[in-house]
Amino acid sequence: MNKSQELRLIRKAAAGHRDSAEQLVQTFQGSLYGYILRISGRPDVSEDVVQEAFVRVLTNLDRFDPRFRFSTWLFTIGRRVYFNMCEKKKPLSDSAGLETWRDVSDSGNGRIDRADTTTACRDVLQAELMRLPSDQREVVVLFHQHEWPIALIAEHTGMPVGTVKSHLHRARIKLRDGLTHRPEPLGVETLKMQEVGR
């Protein structure tokens, strides 16, 4: 969706058009969910955050500044909702979040289904992500998952560009070390299998 289509949808949704609001939600819910899921590690929290963020956005669409992208605004609100939720509920620790992630991803028998290699890889990767400090995790997710420029990440997170780069670099090194020297190198193995398969 280009920017003009996006703006048209926003204008119509702001005027009370339900279908346009629905289209906005369907277009952007996946990316927001992925962002929150990556930084929280918890699907239930992500769902709540996505719902609350969208409701706030849809009820305040008249405040949207058309100079910016809708996704940036949505992510900013989602991030705020998530941090507010963290403060209120004092969520589980990162390892607990990881467990929740595994519970959802497992095929019900407590073991990752090796047939779903992509899911397995992402699980391993998510496990390593959850070992990162939250700042580094968020920067890595925004940069590599959503391909935001560093300057935009800096604006979004309120950090200087140099700090964002530094977080990004440290996070990559930790991820690389974690993924390659993993005691149970499931993720890397699976990745290699994937590469060979191609």
Partner 1 sequence: MNTGPLRSAGGRSGPRKAAKDDGQARRLRERLVNECLDSIVEGDVGMARAMIRASAEVAPGADRDVAELRRLLRPLGKAPCAPDLTSRILAETQHRRPFLSCSTRHQISAWRVALAASLLGLITGGYLISELGNPSADDRLAVTSRPSTLAAVSPTVSLAPDLLIPHDSQRSKPDVYLSFANEASLESPFRRTHDVFVAQSVGIPSIMESISARPDHPALAGRSPTADARASANVTELAAASRGQASLLLGSRTPNATILLGSGDVGSAFAHSRRSPEGSTLLGGFRGLDDAALTPDFLRGTGTHQNLMQPWIKLRPPVRSRPW
Radius of gyration of the chain from its Cα atoms, rounded to whole angstroms: 18
How large is the angle between the packed helices 117-131 and 186-197, nearest 10 degrees? 140
Q: Does 9 bind partner 1 (CB under 8 A)?
A: no
CB of 147 to partner 1, least distance (A): 6
Q: Does 152 bind partner 1 (CB under 8 A)?
A: no
Return the residue of 9, 37, 132, 186 that touches partner 1, per CB under 8 A.
Answer: 37
User: What type of residue sits at position 184?
Assistant: E
**What is the contact mask toward partner 1 in residues 65 to 104, using x (rule: CB under 8 A)?**
----------------------------------------
For residue 29, with 0-12 CB atoms within 10 Å meaning exposed, 13-18 middle and 19 or more buried, which class applies? middle
Q: Does 184 bind partner 1 (CB under 8 A)?
A: no
Return the residue of 6, 33, 130, 136 that touches partner 1, per CB under 8 A.
Answer: 33
Return the residue of 157, 172, 185, 189 that touches partner 1, per CB under 8 A.
Answer: 172
Q: Does 14 bind partner 1 (CB under 8 A)?
A: no
Within 41-160, residue ranges assigned H as helices are: 43-59, 70-89, 94-105, 117-131, 134-140, 150-157
Return the residue of 10, 40, 54, 79 that touches partner 1, per CB under 8 A.
Answer: 54
DSSP letters, 100-112, are: HHHHHHS-SSSS-
